[in-house]
Structure 1
Amino acid sequence: MIYFDNAATTAVKPAGVGQAVAKVLTSGQYGNPGRDASKYSLNSGLLVQQTREKVARLFHIPSSDNVMFTNNATDSLNVVLKGLLHAGDHVITTDYEHNSVLRPLAQLKQQGVQVSYLPFAPETGQLQIKQLPQMLTPATKAVVCTHASNVTGYVLPLAAISQFCQEQGLWLIVDAAQTAGFLDIDVQQQGIDALCFTGHKSLYGPQGIGGICLKTDLPVTPLKSGGTGVDSFNPAMPAELPTRLEAGTLNVPGIAGLGAGIDYLTQTGLQPLRKHVLTLVDQLLTGLAQYPEITIYTPKAAMKTGAVAFNVGTINSAEVGQWLWDTAQIATRTGAHCAPRVLIGYGVKQQGIVRVSLSSFNTAEQVATFLTAIAQLIAAYRQER
């Protein structure tokens, strides 16, 4: 079997990730962090703090207190968007967004928040960044955007977006689900006010762990409230970070796995891992480009992640994905990818899009096998026509 759905989740993890999770669950030495003075609680508290510091170093967060753990990027985005935006506010987003941004904003629209969507040019895939000033209103509070499209792998021009936000005094909220652990991210240098990430993709952690990184202590109202282990007689959540945004028992096994995933990245180096993936992407794109029947949606003249999006003629994307699995045991992703405005922008709402997404654990031999399978599919498609 060949796994080419890493933009959804990395199925193959570094060995240390599973070992770290297993240690928490099987050693009998880890309790509830921050709840008492026992060794069990202290072990968990130390592990949580060490991982906070690893996240802070990875993304250049000024203080580890500005790192909050959540379930995933979707959870993080809900906390930040619903905690910052209120009736009468205006926010700008893009047509490249995942539903983890679009759906919370749709809920906020029902509560009186105004939303504008920055389009992309379907001919090039490039975001129409020059239209940003036209969308500005006196009520604009923030720009929220994905760092890279989960469908096409296109990396958005974050530097230009950040400059616009700084010039206009807007918050920049970034969905880094596709880029955390793949691209170098410096919250301070890039002017990111709130970075929302998940652990189970290019950070190689387990599912169910993610986080929020704040450049400064933004006035984020807690989405959830509950136990924190401190200030128990206060009916409100504590005011300080990270406690304010971390209600309830933390996912200590997930945090352990996330920490081990970051260890793998820092020890191996993001640059060599990224170079390996992008070499495979070039191999894949070159192979697909030889067929006139194939439409490639991943922009050529832009930074990319490990995702490549395409269609074969007029074949429904689900049929292509099923054929690849049935014929060659290759796992891909098809359909709308939880990013409806991307499909609408490219005019393929009914057909969907086929996505291949690679990780550092994939190989050139696997890409060659995939391209052989595509050649067979194209041959069959030509016969039918």
Structure 2
Amino acid sequence: MKTRAAVLSEIGRPGPYADTRPLVVEELVLDPPEEGEVLIDIKAAGLCHSDLSVIDGNRPRPVPMALGHEAAGVVRQVGPGVRDLSEGDHVVAVFIPSCGHCPPCAEGRPALCEPGGRANNDGSLINGGRRLHRADGTPVHHHLGVSGFADHAVVSRNSLVRIDPALPFTHAALFGCAVLTGVGAAVNSAGIRPGQSVAVVGLGGVGLNSVLGALVAGAGEVIAVDLDDAKLERARELGASRTFNSSAADAVEQIRQATGGGAERVIEMAGSEKALELAYRITRRGGVTVTGGLAHPDKYAAIQQVSLVAEERTLRGSYVGSCVPVRDVARYVTLFRQNRLPVDQLLSGTLALEDINTGFDRLASGEAIRQVITFD
């Protein structure tokens, strides 16, 4: 069948993207689903910094590649061996497929699935296949097993979570990345306990979800840190207790003084080595610093090594919020329905597939938090 998809053929084009147009909407050939695969009709797909990091070269991937990894849609066809999904089911795509039997999966850590990670780096589905190509036969790589900026996609069954059909697609798409990553970092990776002080550094769509996650976990105080005053205001609207602009020369001292020596749990979601250094410095003795921001592979953060020992600090990474998607998507949707996790307040608007480059300009400038492409 044919599908329209936003394809990246060259990494590193400069902005503004509305002019340089790194993403081109092309008509591609989409092969039918094979063993363990599913054809979905994409209804909504969110624009995320993980997509932007491929466009600007911070996360190099093979090209040409059909981008998009945060998506929701309807099952249209199941391939051989898929017995627990049916045509008409509503699903969310998760950007790391899990095989279920490699060592991390067997330990209950599907975000670290080894075959899934290799497939994502290679631009293939988890079984090594590719179902997209141009009319001349040129293969087009999959983005994180999803390629959601398209009318239709063929994905592994392992990349999908069935959801309540009453959940609007514009909201559902966010649960596949922004919510899992941000809320999961607070609830799973940081292990926030009721009454603890929490700081979140970096207030994009994922960071603001960490603010919401800290609140739903019962944090006694949530401190929001960013360079952008508008994002700090949004964090206050969502329930942050205090905010600090990290551009201030004495930002670390301000935060440490305000918190009596630092926050007990600090989450970094800016994807910057400087942000991680700041996050570590504002963590109190015995505290936990969690980083979920994806910096360029060549970047290194400077951490005072002795403090890890003398202050019994913990520094840990968080990928996909250390989530078990089949478990956590359902939990977070329930919290959303109870108005305890208002992720809909993070939507900056919707746009058509043809306007995708303009959307990434808005994301890169900080003008938008979460934009969603909608498909008829």
Give TM-score, length-normalised by structure 1.
0.34
Structure (1/2) with the larger strand percentage: 2
Structure (1/2) with the larger helix percentage: 1
- Bigger radius of gyration, 1 or 2? 1
Give TM-score, length-normalised by structure 2.
0.35
